[in-house]
């Protein structure tokens, strides 16, 4: 047993050393390839200032998931406002293509496949990024490449920007976070201009717009937004009509999805209890949102409330989801994509936060956040954390100890359109004076 444990420890140590040594080796290889492909152009050190008049074709590479894309929409809009005649190409995670392809601020959207297992990313993605950039981007003659992600570049967007051949390439420094410093050591060498932003817990929207300020652009509007089509609007209208949802009904959007981490999930049983209480107090309908593979998360709510629930987990496109969210009176969910989509559609939102920093990743602008502060909470720990990668307890107490009563109390505080209901299976509700 002792030998086996020693072998496991040795294997982990070797793996950690390989992962820590890989980035520098990958950057070296990329630089050599760049010198062969681009010649002197690859040697640009970025000491000269930007010449904005030369920005005729702009590349933006953002390979994050849904919520991060939504928080990036102010950057897209302000980039277009600053450069109205430039052609803007966006390279995005193929998982958010449905949201981005209707964006009025970009001329071209190109999806990039981000479906590599985490253990293989460091080995496969640099080569995939090279192939993608050389095959699709290198002939487009980009003047400027923008990399808005401040966190670690797990998708090797920096390599895509470098091999695109863009004359100027701007992004956040590899020492922006400790994790990024370890995972992306040397990536700065692939950029011409590096933004060494302060490590404070500013919101992600503010971090994104910092790139524009580095280009001497002052943002005029920082709201998030999404863009749905008449077909998507028709889907939402027919859905509500088919379920007998009247315009007088309050509609509650619920998303028990944990997004990209199980440590973000408020218990599904708590969501089910919350939904029962919402219907008992206010009447109306519950709409459950979630992505493919999350169908099980909606079933406990559906079983408790039967006909009062519209379970959409895994059944909509992202734009269809946005169109339905737009018709909700109140949205309650974890730190996941649908939460940020609801806020972007102008819906009053209550975000339930535990293992992620709500100062940085909270729903943007005039929204409510519920979180239980513990000594291990990610907020307020300097540049050490903006999220928890593992829990120090057997269960995430920051979420399991957050009660349904606290969420209901927050729902009483948040301004949303309340109307008394009386409908068959609904409970009639009389509001207190002054409501």
Q: Give the tens place of pLDDT for each residue, 255-289.
A: 999 877 778 889 999 999 999 999 999 999 999 99
Structural domains in the chain (count): 2
DSSP 3-state of 186: coil
Is position 403 within any domain?
Answer: yes
Residues 170 and 270 in one domain: no
Report the alpha-carbon distance of residue 402 to residue 369 in Å, rounded: 12
Strand order, beta sheet including 168-172: 108-112, 87-93, 57-62, 144-147, 168-172, 193-195
H-only helix segments in 314-424: 318-325, 337-344, 358-361, 397-400, 404-413
DSSP 8-state assignment for residue 135? I
Give the pLDDT confidence score for residue 427 in this predicted structure.
32
Verify that 252 and 208 share a domain, yes or no. Answer: no
The H or E element spanning position 28 is: helix 2-38
Which structural domain, as residue segments, surrounds residue 95?
A: 21-214
Q: What pLDDT, on the 0 to 100 scale, is given for residue 435?
A: 25
The pLDDT assigned to 171 comes to: 94
> Looking at the domain assignment, is residue 385 inside a domain?
yes
Place of tokens 């040594």: 21
Angle (CA) 191-194-195 rounded to 5° is 150
In a domain, residue 94? The reply is yes
Burial class (CB in 10 A: 0-12, 13-18, 19+), 293: exposed
Using the 3D structure, point to which of 161, 182, 214 is the last residue of a domain.
Answer: 214
My answer on whether 155 and 36 are in the same domain is yes
Asked if 110 and 118 count as a contact pair (C-beta separation under 8 A), the reply is no
147 and 31 belong to one structural domain:
yes
Residues of the chain with pLDDT under 50: 1-2, 5, 8, 12-17, 45-47, 383-384, 420-435
CATH code of the domain covering residue 149:
3.40.50.2000
Residue 426 lies in a domain: no
Instruction: Please report whether residue 13 resides in a domain.
Output: no
**Residues 162 and 285 reside in one and the same domain:** no
On whether the CB atoms of residues 283 and 423 are closer than 8 A, the answer is yes
Residues 127 and 251 in one domain: no
- Token pair 């990399």 in the structure block, residue: 147
In a domain, 223, yes or no: no
Per the domain annotation, does 432 fall within a domain? no
Q: Are residues 273 and 409 in the same domain?
A: yes
What are the DSSP calls for 369-384, one per residue?
EEE---TT-STTSTTS
| CA within 13 Å, CB half, 387 | 17
Whether residues 188 and 282 share a domain: the answer is no
Q: Tell whether 252 and 125 lie within a shared domain.
A: no
| Residue pointed to by tokens 């929409």 | 73
In tens, the pLDDT along 425-434 reads 333 322 222 2
The whole-number pLDDT of residue 431 equals 24
Q: Are residues 247 and 356 in the same domain?
A: yes
Q: What is the pLDDT of residue 97?
A: 97
Do residues 51 and 182 share a domain?
Answer: yes
Same domain, 188 and 275: no
Buried b (16+ CB within 10 A) or exposed e, 75-112: bbbbbbebbeebbbbbbbbebbbbbbbebebbeebbbb
Residues 406, 350: Cα–Cα separation, whole Å: 11
Domain membership flag for residue 221: no
Instruction: With beta carbons less than 8 A apart as the criterion, state whether 358 and 379 touch.
Output: yes
Phi/psi for 193 (5° steps) reads -135, 125
């Amino acid at each position: 047993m002792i030998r086996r444990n020693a072998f496991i420890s040795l294997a982990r140590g070797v793996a950690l050393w390989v992962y820590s040594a890989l980035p520098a080796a990958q950057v070296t290889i990329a630089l050599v390839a760049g010198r062969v492909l681009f010649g002197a152009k690859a040697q640009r050190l970025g000491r000269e200032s930007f010449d904005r008049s030369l920005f005729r074709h702009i590349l933006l590479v953002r390979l994050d998931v849904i919520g991060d894309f939504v928080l990036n929409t102010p950057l897209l809009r302000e980039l277009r406002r600053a450069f109205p005649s430039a052609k803007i190409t966006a390279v995005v995670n193929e998982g958010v293509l449905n949201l981005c392809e209707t964006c009025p601020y970009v001329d071209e959207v190109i999806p990039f496949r981000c479906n590599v297992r985490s253990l293989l990313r460091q080995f496969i993605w640099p080569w995939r990024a090279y192939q993608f950039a050389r095959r699709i981007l290198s002939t487009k003659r980009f003047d400027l490449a923008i990399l808005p992600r401040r966190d670690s570049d797990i998708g090797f967007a920096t390599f895509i920007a470098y091999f695109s051949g863009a004359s100027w390439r701007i992004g956040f420094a590899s020492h922006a976070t400790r994790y990024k410093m370890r995972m992306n050591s040397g990536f700065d060498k692939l950029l011409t201009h590096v933004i060494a932003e302060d490590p404070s817990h500013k919101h992600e929207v503010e971090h994104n717009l910092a790139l524009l300020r580095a280009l001497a652009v002052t943002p005029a509007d920082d709201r998030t937004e999404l863009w749905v089509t008449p077909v998507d609007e028709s889907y939402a209208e027919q859905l509500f009509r088919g379920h007998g949802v009247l315009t007088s009904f309050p509609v509650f959007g619920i998303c028990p999805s944990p997004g990209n981490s199980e440590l973000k999930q408020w218990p599904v049983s708590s969501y089910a209890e919350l939904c029962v209480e919402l219907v008992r107090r206010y009447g109306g309908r519950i709409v459950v949102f979630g992505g493919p593979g999350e169908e099980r998360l909606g079933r406990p709510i559906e079983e408790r409330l039967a006909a009062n629930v519209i379970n959409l987990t895994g059944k909509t496109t992202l734009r269809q989801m946005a169109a339905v969210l737009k018709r909700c009176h109140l949205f309650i969910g974890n730190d996941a994509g649908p939460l940020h989509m609801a806020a972007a559609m102008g819906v009053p939102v209550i975000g339930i936060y535990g293992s992620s920093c709500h100062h940085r990743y909270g729903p943007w602008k005039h929204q409510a956040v519920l979180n239980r502060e513990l000594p291990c909470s990610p907020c307020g720990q300097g540049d050490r954390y903006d999220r928890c990668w593992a829990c120090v307890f057997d269960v995430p107490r920051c979420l399991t100890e957050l009660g349904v009563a606290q969420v209901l109390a927050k729902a009483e505080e948040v301004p949303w359109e309340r109307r008394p209901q009386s409908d068959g299976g609904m409970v009639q509700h009389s509001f207190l004076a002054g409501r």
